[in-house]
Structure 1
Amino acid sequence: MKTWFFALAFIFAAPIVSAHEWNVASKDSTVSFVSVKKSVIAEAHSLSGIEGNIRSDGHFELTIPLKTVETGIDIRNERMQSMLFDVTRYPKVILSANLPKNLLKSMPVGTTQTKEIPAQLALHGKIKRINFEVLIVKLSHRKVVVTSVKPTIINASDFNLSSGIKALMQIASLSSISTAVPVSFVLTLKRD
Structure 2
Amino acid sequence: MAAPALAEDNPFAPGWTLNPLGSTLGFQSVKNGTKVEMNNIATFGGHIAPDGMAEVQIALDSIDTHIDLRNVRMRFLFFETFKFPTATVTAKVDPLVLEGLKDGPRTFAVLPFTLTLHGVTKEMSAPISITQLGPDTVAVASVGVIPVVAEDFALTEGVAKLEDAAKVKLLPVGSVSFDWIFTRDGAAPMVAALTTGADAAKETRGAFDAEACATRFDTLSQAGNITFRSGSARLDVAGSAVLDTLLDVVTRCPEMKIEIGGHTDDVGPDAANLALSEARAAAVAAYLAERGAGADRLTPKGYGEAAPLLPNDSAENRARNRRIEFKILD
Q: TM-score under structure 1 normalisation? A: 0.85
Give the letter for the 1:76 counterpart: R
Displacement of 1:110 in angstroms is: 5.7
Do structure 1's residue 182 and structure 2's residue 175 form an aligned pair? yes
Do structure 1's residue 41 and structure 2's residue 35 form an aligned pair? yes
Provide the residue aligned with 1:99 in structure 2.
93
Provide the residue aligned with 1:7 in structure 2.
none
Displacement of 1:101 in angstroms is: 4.0
8 Å contact from structure 1 (residues 109, 139) kept in 2: no
Following TM superposition, the consecutive aligned residue runs of length 4 or more in structure 1 with deviations greater than 2 angstroms are 101-110
Gaps of 5+ in 2: 1-11, 186-330
SS of 2:151's partner is helix
Counterpart among 141, 145, 151 of residue 147 in structure 1? 141
Counterpart among 75, 84, 94 of residue 81 in structure 1? 75
Counterpart among 60, 64, 81 of residue 58 in structure 2? 64
Distance 1:82 1:141, change over 3 A: same
Structure showing greater relative contact order (alpha-carbon pairs closer than 8 Å, 6 or more residues apart) = 1
User: 1:74-122: CA deviations, max 9, x gaps?
Assistant: 1100110011001111001100000014755984496111010000000
Displacement of 1:26 in angstroms is: 1.5
SS of 1:164's partner is helix
Provide the residue aligned with 1:14 in structure 2.
none
Do structure 1's residue 163 and structure 2's residue 157 form an aligned pair? yes
Give the letter for the 2:150 counterpart: A
Give the letter for the 1:190 counterpart: T
Distance 1:138 1:92, change over 3 A: same
Gaps of 5+ in 1: 1-17
Q: How many residues are treated as equivalent by the alignment?
A: 174
Give the letter for the 1:68 counterpart: S
Provide the residue aligned with 1:3 in structure 2.
none
8 Å contact from structure 2 (residues 52, 95) kept in 1: yes
Give the letter for the 1:139 counterpart: L
Q: In 2, Cα distance between the equivalents of 1:169 and 1:20? A: 47
* RMSD of Structure 2 on Structure 1 (CA): 1.9
Q: In 1, Cα distance between the equivalents of 2:25 and 2:103? A: 25
Instruction: Determine which structure has more spread, i.e. the larger CA radius of gyration.
Output: 2
Give the letter for the 1:180 counterpart: V
Counterpart among 120, 124, 130 of residue 118 in structure 2? 124
Q: TM-score under structure 2 normalisation? A: 0.50
SS of 1:84's partner is helix
Greater fraction of residues in strand: 1
SS of 1:32's partner is strand
User: 1:50-69: CA deviations, max 9, x gaps?
Assistant: 10010000000011100111
SS of 1:29's partner is strand
Q: In 1, Cα distance between the equivalents of 2:150 and 2:170? A: 11
Report matched runs for 1:6-45 at 5 Å: 21-45=15-39
Q: Structure 1 stretch 97-106 or stretch 54-63: which is displaced more?
A: 97-106
8 Å contact from structure 2 (residues 16, 47) kept in 1: yes
SS of 1:26's partner is strand
